[in-house]
């Protein structure tokens, strides 16, 4: 089991370690700065942190010594906009979609046979690739230039954003990305060409005749079972969906109690029937229902759900879990969850019971086991 996880928060990066006295956090790296994404690279042990300055833009830092020292490296950046590039306006609001990195929102490592390969998803919807541990980045034009991008719009932020990158452990040249709002997109040639795989998702926030449009789906977060990589779980704006064929088709899962609305999902890394979710009451009320902060878990592929309560605050709790706010370790037994109220809980038994960390953290943006 893994004994450490990173918490990217609105005001710094915290390392949380398991000691003989339980889980303890250390003073933050980058105090006061927003950490929307982190990566611990399983291939070489490097740590990466996206550091977002409110005034000065998104930066990327790398550590080769588990956070003792950090080095600022290149951040993803768009190439100069060609004179003939079309101006794309948000179909919902009419505002121009910027040709510029607003935020680096997620970061993933490539395959074991792709040393130095990193992927970075950004707002306003650009996917970037590095083959030198983040020393330089290039825009994945095969996705950015898809005409369907003109149908994408913001969800979570003002502009479209890539929040999930799912590298296939069987073949890392196959990968998918989740876009809010733009659906689930897959490449089978290392990012050269892309196709939308959102059949079966449904959007209730559009006129009914457009509910099935794959290019306007809002998968809040997509998570893959690493042991059975064809199994994907999606916490969508309009409920929970599951695919057993690598996104070629999605099936709606009957909503659990207390709600099927939420942002985060963690697929169990080994058991394709198991996944964890963090519900909020509804999209018009993004707090726990009745002040009870609970999680939900299915262990039968979504046919039924348990409501997980043991150790969680069940009275006057208003914690919301963002997209990247749940993570499991490689066994699936250790799970950590962090909320926008700064609450953090850890489970040692796959979610049966939870222990709170005795710290009032800043709002949690991302949780990731080392």
Residues that bind other proteins (CB under 8 A): 53-57, 59, 72, 75, 77-78, 80-81, 99-101
CB of 362 to other proteins, least distance (A): 12
If the CB atoms of residues 53 and 93 are measured against other proteins, the closer one turns out to be: 53
- List, in order, residues 6 or more apart from 86 with CB less than 8 Å away: 150
CB of 24 to other proteins, least distance (A): 26
> 108: cis peptide before it, omega within 30°?
no
Query: In what helix (H) or strand (E) does residue 235 lie, and over which residues does it extend?
Result: strand 232-236
Give Cα 232 distance to the centre of its chain: 13
Query: In what helix (H) or strand (E) does residue 142 lie, and over which residues does it extend?
Result: helix 141-144
Between CA 307 and CA 163 the distance in angstroms is 26
If the CB atoms of residues 55 and 68 are measured against other proteins, the closer one turns out to be: 55
If the CB atoms of residues 67 and 176 are measured against other proteins, the closer one turns out to be: 67
Among 238, 290, 289, 243, smallest CA distance to 263 is for: 238
If the CB atoms of residues 85 and 285 are measured against other proteins, the closer one turns out to be: 85
CB of 54 to other proteins, least distance (A): 5
Going by DSSP bridges, is the β-strand pair 4-9/161-167 parallel, antiparallel, or unpaired? unpaired
CB of 132 to other proteins, least distance (A): 18
If the CB atoms of residues 3 and 53 are measured against other proteins, the closer one turns out to be: 53
CB of 78 to other proteins, least distance (A): 5
Tell me the torsion sign for CA atoms 93, 96, 102, 105. positive
Among 368, 335, 367, 370, smallest CA distance to 350 is for: 335
CB of 30 to other proteins, least distance (A): 10
CB 298 within 8 A of CB 275: yes
If the CB atoms of residues 111 and 363 are measured against other proteins, the closer one turns out to be: 363
Between CA 213 and CA 209 the distance in angstroms is 9
CB 149 within 8 A of CB 214: no
CB of 90 to other proteins, least distance (A): 17
Tell me the torsion sign for CA atoms 87, 37, 202, 278. negative
If the CB atoms of residues 158 and 271 are measured against other proteins, the closer one turns out to be: 158
CB of 158 to other proteins, least distance (A): 12
Q: Which residues pair with 366 in a beta bridge?
A: 8, 324
If the CB atoms of residues 56 and 208 are measured against other proteins, the closer one turns out to be: 56
Between CA 139 and CA 105 the distance in angstroms is 15
């Amino acid at each position: 089991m893994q004994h450490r996880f990173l918490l990217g928060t609105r005001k710094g990066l915290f390392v949380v370690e398991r000691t003989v006295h339980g889980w303890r956090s250390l003073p933050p790296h980058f105090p006061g700065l927003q950490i929307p994404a982190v990566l611990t690279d399983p291939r070489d042990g490097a740590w990466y942190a996206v550091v977002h300055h409110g005034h000065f833009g998104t930066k990327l830092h790398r550590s080769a010594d588990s956070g003792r020292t950090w080095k600022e490296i290149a951040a993803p950046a768009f190439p100069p906009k060609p004179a003939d590039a079309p101006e794309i306006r948000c179909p919902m609001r009419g505002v121009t979609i910027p040709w510029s990195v607003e935020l680096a929102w997620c970061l993933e490592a490539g395959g074991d046979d792709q040393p130095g390969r990193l992927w970075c998803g950004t707002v306003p919807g650009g996917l970037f690739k590095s083959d030198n541990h983040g020393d330089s980045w290039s825009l994945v034009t095969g996705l950015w230039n898809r005409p369907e991008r003109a149908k994408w719009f913001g969800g979570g932020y003002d502009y479209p954003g890539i929040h999930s990158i799912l590298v296939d452990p069987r073949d890392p040249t196959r990968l998918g990305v989740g876009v809010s709002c733009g659906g689930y997109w897959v490449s089978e040639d290392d990012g050269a060409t892309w196709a939308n795989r959102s059949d079966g998702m449904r959007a209730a926030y559009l006129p009914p005749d457009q509910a099935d449009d794959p290019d306007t789906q809002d998968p809040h977060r997509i998570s893959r079972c690493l042991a059975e990589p064809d199994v994907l779980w999606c916490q969508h704006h309009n409920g929970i969906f599951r695919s057993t064929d690598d996104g070629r088709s999605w099936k709606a899962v009957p909503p659990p109690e207390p709600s099927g609305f939420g942002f985060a999902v963690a697929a169990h890394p080994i058991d394709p029937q198991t996944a964890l979710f963090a519900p909020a009451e509804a999209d018009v009320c993004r707090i726990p229902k009745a002040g009870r902060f609970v999680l939900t878990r299915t262990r039968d592929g979504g046919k039924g759900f348990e409501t997980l309560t043991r150790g969680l605050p069940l009275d006057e709790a208003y914690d919301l879990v963002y997209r990247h706010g749940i993570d499991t370790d490689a066994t699936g037994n250790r799970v950590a969850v962090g909320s926008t109220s700064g609450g953090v809980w850890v489970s040692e038994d796959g979610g049966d019971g939870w222990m709170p960390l005795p710290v009032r953290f800043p709002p949690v943006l991302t949780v990731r086991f080392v």
